Every structure is written in structure tokens, then in C-alpha cells.
Structure 1
Amino acid sequence: MSGRTGKRLVVVLAACAVALLWTVGSGAAAVQRPAPAPVYGPSAADPGLLRVGSQYYAFMTGGPLGEVARSSTPGGPWTAQPNALSRWGAWAAGTGAVWAPDAWQTSAGWVLYYAAQAKGFAGQRCIGTAVAGDPGGPYTPTDTPLICPILGGDDPAADRPDPTAGVIDPSPFQDSDGRRYLLYKTQKTPGTIRMFPLSADGLHGRGELSHELVRHADSIENPVMVKRGDQYVLLASANWFDQCRYSTVWRRSTDPWSFADKQEHVLLDQANTGLCGPGGADVVTGGSGPDLIYLHGWVCTPDDQPCQYDGVVTDPNKRRVMYAAKLAWGQDDATPNVPAFLPPVPPR
């Protein structure tokens, strides 16, 4: 599929609709193009992506036990799979939906991280783990959460940066030395991103607490870490998820624990894509294909046109759909940019 990546954009427009525009580049050299079309819907929030051989798996908020879709090409067609989880973890309240699941392979098998409401935590969420023998699942949850601020005492799962706030948006990262980590958001204002050292099997901590990487005066969430040479690139979603100004931003550092003083850059927002709230992104690297970025955005029409709101998106028909794009890294090989979105591939 690498030969097709970014060669064209396919947009489904209503007969009387005016095309939205997104911009590649900036200034006089900017090129305006129609807003990209989603590669998957009808609902696809917070996509966490796996590329395993020639297969792609997208894990998404919803369910209630988490949603999964599968495709043999990066642009689809995507086919819905059974729930991500086989059941609720024993620690979970069993209400609401699984949030922002994401998976990778470790010595324990395929490990899924997810956020769910915890028992006795007033509706707040903790982060749990689940294991499967197949990347598409279903995943069997472990009985105790991995990170849960409500826990205390000698419990090894009690990483407690703020015991009154839940934790969401787990995102695994493996450094070039083989050590594993989990990034996540502490659900409070101002928003914060933290990183937690993991055991080799990805199911436990290694006796160290998490550390705050960055905070945002408004909100920041959905972290993703990518190593490029000696540079660590931290991508995240800034501002509030229910608004069109929600955007994908990035910072860069030579120290994976030090981003607070690094400049924030916008990668994708409404102005340069034409999408409403382009965020919740995950990155696909490695394997035989090109680097890709998957994200969600709000649409408000049956033909998947982006919502048009200055504030909170209140349209009763709103839903989040998944977009895919090629991810490039600039002349220095460490500056992320999106040269083109992928067109959706229709079912045969």
C-alpha cells in the first residue's frame, strides 16, 4: 500500500455542500485541498492502532467493552470485530464504556491497556491490563488495575499523583534500550501527562512511581511517544475533546522525562485540516509499511461532513469517525508533519 499512500484524497460531499479546506505547508507555498474523508465510522473515538504483518487493528472507545475493527490495508475497508475485552476486570464498576484501549506485544502475549470506571471511586477511572493470544482479542482482563489512584497502602498498583482524580488514555512506549513505559493522562484541570515505568512483560510496574511530563493550562490528553534518533517526540491532544478546537500537538526533547519547558507545536487542527477536533491520535511505525497517524474528528451529517462549531459541539447527530494520514519527519528526521491523508478504501 505504500505506493498508494498520499496519492489522492477522496471526499464525499453533499450535492449542495461547500468543500472545507485543509492546508499543506504554510504562507505563500500553502496548498489548499478538500477536507479529508474518514476511513472508518460510524463511531470511532480515540483510536489505538496495531500493525501486525499485513493486518491493521484499531481499538476504540466504546463497547461497553471496547470496540475493535480490522483491515488488511491502512485505509480499509475496516470490519468491526467482537468486543476488545471478554469481560470486565474484577476491579471495574462494570458501568460506562471502556476508554481509549491500546495494545502491543510483550513476553506475556498481546497486552491491552484500557481505562474504566473503578469500584468505589465515584465514577472516576483507573487503568487496567488484559491479555490475549491473538492481537485482535478478545482480551482477558487481569483482576487488579495497573494504575489506580484510589488505592493506597502497600498496593503496588497505587501510583497516586492525585488520589481524587482518575487516570485515562493509556499509551505504551518502548525505548531503544528495550525498557517499557506507559504514558497516561491524569483527569484533572490543568491537564497533565505522566509516564510510568513498566516491567518487561508490560503487566506490572517496576517499583518506580510515574512522573509528570507536561501539563496544559486548558486540557491535554491522549499521549503518544515516538523515538527518532536521539530525540523523543511527544504527541498529545490539546484543549477539550468536545470542541472543534481540539487539536493534535507535539513537543520534542532529548530526555524522555523532560518536556515541560519544550515548545508546543500544532500538528493538526481545524485550521490546517478542515476537520472538527482532529485529536485522539495514535502513530503506527515499524513493519513493512510507512509511518502513519490515525485520529478522530467530529462529523454532524450522514455523509460525514465535519461539524462547524466555535464552542462545544452540540449537534444531536454528532459522532467521532477515524481518519488516517501519512506521517513524515522532516529534513532532520525528528519533526513530525502530515503531507497527505489516506483515502478510504470502499468494500469490494
Structure 2
Amino acid sequence: MRSQRSFRVTAYLSVLVVLVVSAVAGQSAAQASEREPRPVYAAPTGEAADPGVVRDGRDYYAFMTGGLARVATASSPRGPWRPMPDALSRWGEWASGKGAVWAPDAVRTSAGWVLYYAAQAKGFAGQRCIGTAVADRPAGPYEPAATPLVCPILNGEDPAADRPDQTSGVIDPSPFQDEDGTRYLLYKTQKTPGTIRMFPLSSDGLHGRGELSHELVRHSDSIENPVLVKRDGYYFLFAAANWYDQCRYSTVWRRSADLWSFADKDEHVLLDQAGTGLCGPGGADVVTGGGGPDRIFLHGWVCSADNQPCEFTGVVTDPNKRRVVYAAVLSWGTDGITPQVPAFLPPA
């Protein structure tokens, strides 16, 4: 017959095994949960879309579609992100004042902080142009220029004269500075076919430098939200393919040794619904340098109060749909020149 002590030892070991198994299972569940992309920022009201993200010291600023350019800030890509007042102090005189700012982005130059934004232009049938604004601080407030920078009308410095549809406007401005300090602005022409163009800028980023823009890529469906990154002698053009209101909206990339030659380069998918489980992972921006790891920020559609991705294959028709921001690791493969996203960052 077992002694009472042996019984107690056996019972103790049984409980210990249960606790260990439970802990391991809980840890596995937590790890699995962290592998599932979760938004790092969801706007308190409305949505958070087309993040243009900059880093100033340890602080991050995300400029987003909506109002007079929505802004949120955080000390880490994971957040917590804090919404701030809209970036623009007012509309530029060239803008109609209707609708909202689309896909703003900012950069620091000799002029201070320069904000690029797309807004409906006066006398342009609802089509948009791209303007500039300047501030002393990254979050603003930004004072807009009286005339547009890129606009087919209203004396825009770059009229994008040879765009496929001569009635289309321009959106999605994205600044780029090459290793020699030369500045450029990438943007998209509206309507179909979609194109990505690039405009050489002055050293302060506020004007052109006497050259017109040139087309980089054309897409029979839609291509937008361009971002250019230089690495190891190559230029990487990231963009969003397909239509923004569909779950098949995705982030793609092309690589070229020539700054102006992307049309004949292979297009690769970086992020799509099949690979991430997200609905429409696009509108991305990349933050590199500063001594830290590279990060990519993007938006996706969610259709529930707890921010679950919408479950559609095409157009998202759920009336509760809204866009939220995700952050992820951007790595470059074993060859150092193949963009990859090995993990999404969990929210703080």
C-alpha cells in the first residue's frame, strides 16, 4: 500500500506537468497570435489610410489621408500612436477646399519640414493636384504655397503633359533623395491606365529644377502610392497595384540599377491577401536608416469592432469597413537585394 507521502509526491508531479503543459500551450498561442498581423494604429474616428511615415530622432510621424492631412505620432513603430491636429493650417489658394487631403508625405530639407499633399484643384472637375507646405516641426502646422507644384492646370511647375488621359489629375506624392543629395518627387496619375511618374526637385524640395517629369511605370488596371529606396547600388520602386477598395489591392516592387528605368523590370508581389490574411495590404511607406532596422508601414481594410480583416475577394462592400495601419519588418533576403517581410510588429 502506498504511503501518504508517495501519494502527495505523485499528486504534486501531476499538477506540475499540467502547469508546464498549460504554460507551453499558452506561450505557443501567444506566439501564434503575434504572427497574425494586428494594426498598430486605428484612428479614433474615421480611418487611417495611406501612411507616409517619417522619423525625427526617436519619434515617428505618420501622415494619412483625411481632413487637412491627418497626423499621428509615436516613439516606436509599434506605438502607442497618438493622434494630433491636422498637419495643414489651411487649404492652399489653388485648392477647391472640397473633399480631403489624400496620401500626404513629408521630408526635412533646407527649407524646414516640407509637406506634399494632393487636393482637389479649382476648375479641374474634381481632379487633384499636388501642393507643398512648410513647417518648423514635423507635425506642423504647415503653411501651404499659393500655387501647386504638380498640376496640369493652374500653372503647376510640372504639368505631367504626356499622361495617358489628358483629363486626369495627380495624387500620391512621395519624396526621394538620392545618395548624391539630389531630390525627386514620385506621384501617380489618376484614371486608367494608372502610371507612376517622377519629377526632379530643387535642393529645398519646394520647386522643380527646370526639367519635366517622366513616366516610370504604367499599369493597365491601377498602380499608385510609389516609394523609392536606394540600396547596394540598386533602386527599389515599391507601389500598390490594383484598386484600393478591393481586398486584392497589394504591395509590389521592382528593382533597377537605373533611376529612370523600371517599365521593363519584373514586378514582384511583396504583400497580398493570400500571403498575409489582410484585406488590401497597400498604401505602403518604408522607413530606413537612422541606425535601426528597416520598417514598412501599410494599411488594410477591417470590418469589425475588434479590427479583424474584411473577408472579401473583390470590392469591400461592408458598411463598417475602414482602414487601419500595420507595421512590419522589412528585410532584404540572403542576397541583400530582395525585399521581404518576415514578420509583422505587434501593437504596443
- For the aligned residues, what is the CA RMSD? 1.4
Which residue number corresponds to residue 95 of structure 2? 92
Unaligned runs of 5+ in 2: 1-29
Q: Does 1:256 align with 2:285?
A: no
Q: Is the 8 A contact 1:9 1:343 kept in 2?
A: no
Which residue number corresponds to residue 59 of structure 2? 55
Q: Is the 8 A contact 1:149 1:161 kept in 2?
A: no
Aligned with residue 330 of structure 1, among 328, 333, 338: 333
Q: Is the 8 A contact 1:186 1:192 kept in 2?
A: yes
Which residue number corresponds to residue 35 of structure 1? 36
Whole-angstrom distance in 2 between the partners of 1:145 and 1:263? 34
Q: How many residues align?
A: 314
Deviations 1:257-297 (A, max 9, x none): 00111000000000000000000000001113210000000
Q: Is the 8 A contact 1:233 1:252 kept in 2?
A: yes
Q: Does 1:303 align with 2:306?
A: yes
Whole-angstrom distance in 1 between the partners of 2:237 and 2:31? 27
Q: Does 1:198 align with 2:201?
A: yes
Unaligned runs of 5+ in 1: 1-7, 12-32
| 3-state SS of 2:63 partner | strand
Which residue number corresponds to residue 343 of structure 2? 340
Whole-angstrom distance in 1 between the partners of 2:103 and 2:162? 20
Q: Report which structure shows greater RCO (CA 8 Å, sep ≥6).
A: 1
Which residue number corresponds to residue 82 of structure 1? 85
Whole-angstrom distance in 1 between the partners of 2:315 and 2:140? 35
Q: Is the 8 A contact 2:151 2:157 kept in 1?
A: no
* Letter in structure 2 aligned against 1:239: N
Q: How does 1:122-137 map to 2 (within 5 A)?
A: 122-137=125-140
Aligned with residue 172 of structure 1, among 166, 170, 175: 175
Which residue number corresponds to residue 317 of structure 2? 314
Which residue number corresponds to residue 5 of structure 1? none
Q: How does 1:284-295 map to 2 (within 5 A)?
A: 284-295=287-298
* Letter in structure 2 aligned against 1:150: I
| 3-state SS of 1:227 partner | strand
Q: Is the 8 A contact 2:194 2:219 kept in 1?
A: yes
What's the offset of the Cα at 1:307? 0.3
Whole-angstrom distance in 1 between the partners of 2:143 and 2:282? 28
Aligned with residue 70 of structure 2, among 67, 70, 78: 67
Whole-angstrom distance in 1 between the partners of 2:230 and 2:161? 27
* Letter in structure 2 aligned against 1:97: A
The verdict on how the C-alpha distance between 1:114 and 1:271 changes in structure 2, with shifts beyond 3 A counting, is: same
Q: Is the 8 A contact 2:94 2:154 kept in 1?
A: no
Whole-angstrom distance in 2 between the partners of 1:34 and 1:260? 35
Q: Is the 8 A contact 2:39 2:327 kept in 1?
A: yes
What's the offset of the Cα at 1:332? 2.1
| 3-state SS of 1:272 partner | helix
* Letter in structure 1 aligned against 2:50: D
What's the offset of the Cα at 1:160? 2.4
Q: Does 1:107 align with 2:82?
A: no
- Detail structure 1 runs of 4+ shifted over 4 Å in the superposition: 8-11
What's the offset of the Cα at 1:10? 7.9
Whole-angstrom distance in 2 between the partners of 1:259 and 1:116? 27
What's the offset of the Cα at 1:127? 0.2
Q: Is the 8 A contact 2:302 2:324 kept in 1?
A: yes
Q: Is the 8 A contact 1:185 1:222 kept in 2?
A: yes
- TM-score for both structures, normalised by structure 2: 0.88
Q: How does 1:222-233 map to 2 (within 5 A)?
A: 222-233=225-236
The verdict on how the C-alpha distance between 1:9 and 1:241 changes in structure 2, with shifts beyond 3 A counting, is: farther
Whole-angstrom distance in 1 between the partners of 2:259 and 2:122? 33
Identity over the aligned pairs, expressed in percent? 74
| 3-state SS of 1:243 partner | coil
Whole-angstrom distance in 1 between the partners of 2:83 and 2:271? 27
